Amino acid sequence: MHSQTKAKPKSSKAKTRSLTGKGEDDPLFQGTWVPVAKPLSGSTTSPEEASTLAEDRQQQIGLYKNAQRDAEQLRQRLAEVEAQLNLEMAKSQLHMHECNSMKDLTMRQLALSLEQERCLASENTALKDELRMLKDPVSETDPDRCIAAVLQMEEQVAAYEDDHNRMEFFQKSILPLLNCGICLSTVITPALLQCGHSFCAACLITWIEQKLTCPTCRVVLTKRPVMSIALSDIVAGLMGTSPDGGLRVAAQIEFDRLPYGLV
């Protein structure tokens, strides 16, 4: 019998060669092989990574501060716009109130003028009738009655002429003094400048926003306008109206808000 020889086990080199087709002589297999472990979650970072994280953090902080600064600027701008809007709305309301007051005043002036004209026309008609009566033959038995009628007629004619002259003087001399030099209508809520000239409060506010001079004498304004209570009462008395104290207060508040270096 032939002796059976046991097959020698293949070495690790052979196993390696059979799996990869490369052996110990391959350069990839030279040196020491060390297994690489996955980094743990609690492991420390390298200095380069720490520096990168710090830079990212500083960048995020800078962006956050910039966003905060931009938001604050937007809030300030919004507050300024709201304040300007409130100011414009208050001015618009004041102007509308004065326009309505001017309309009412004009209508009252027209009604007063028409009433005065009707009264004068009625008196004139009555005087003419009496004159015709005087022209009729008067009984010679009643001379005293004729003389009394003539004297009464003369008094009425004189009174009529006085009323007519006063009305003409009022319309030609007094009313123009109460006109606003800006809108050329009767002043509503009269306001005085430091030079003494008076204008409508709303007209004056609009004027001062464009020019710091008096519309009449062109003097440079250094003081804020003030409401003229006496002139307002005079206008109200001549026109048969009552002074509007609330409108005067609102106009004075608008004067105090004028940011043009006026004291």
pLDDT tens for 15-61 read 444 444 444 555 444 444 444 444 445 556 688 888 888 888 888 88
pLDDT surpassing 60 at residue 105: yes
Q: What is the mean pLDDT of residues 83-103?
A: 75
Q: How far apart are CA 148 and CA 144, in angstroms?
A: 6
User: Is 0.75 surpassed by the pTM of this model?
Assistant: no
Phi and psi of 186, rounded to 5°?
-60, 135
Q: Residue 217: its pLDDT value, please?
A: 92
Q: Residue 21: its pLDDT value, please?
A: 47
Question: Where does residue 252 rank: exposed (0-12), middle (13-18), buried (19+ CB within 10 A)?
Answer: middle
pLDDT surpassing 80 at residue 65: yes
Going by DSSP bridges, is the β-strand pair 190-192/198-200 parallel, antiparallel, or unpaired? antiparallel
DSSP H or E stretch at residue 168: helix 143-169
